[in-house]
């Protein structure tokens, strides 16, 4: 994903376009998954919380 393409996707996500949000979550899926573990156990609630925080951060992101 190039910078120009990423910028368009971020702008679309900030405009609540579902496909753009899903693309960004997919881009950061491995990082979210990694931080969703506590004591070696995957915590689904934490994973969903991290996804929500990622979406909120994208919406606050200044371009």
53: its two tokens: 């925080």
Instruction: Supply the pLDDT for residue 40.
Output: 96
CA 59 to chain centre: 10
Q: Chunk the chain into consecutive blocks of 10 residues (it has 63) and report each block's average pLDDT, rounded to whole numbers.
A: 90 96 95 96 97 93 85
Q: Report pLDDT for 8.
A: 95
Q: Where are the domains of the chain?
A: 3-60
Coil, strand, or helix at residue 39?
A: coil
Residue 63's pLDDT is: 81
pLDDT at 57: 93
Enter the pTM of the model: 0.80
CB atoms within 10 A of CB 46: 15
37 beta partners: 42
Q: CA dist 8 to 33, 35, 40, 47, 54, Å?
A: 25, 27, 36, 26, 17
pLDDT of residue 61: 87
DSSP state of 38: E
């Amino acid at each position: 994903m190039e910078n120009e393409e990423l910028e368009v996707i971020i702008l679309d996500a900030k405009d609540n376009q579902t496909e753009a949000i899903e693309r960004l979550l997919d881009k950061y899926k491995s990082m979210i998954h990694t931080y969703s573990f506590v004591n070696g156990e995957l915590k689904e609630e934490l994973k969903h919380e991290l996804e929500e925080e990622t979406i909120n951060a994208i919406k606050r992101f200044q371009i």
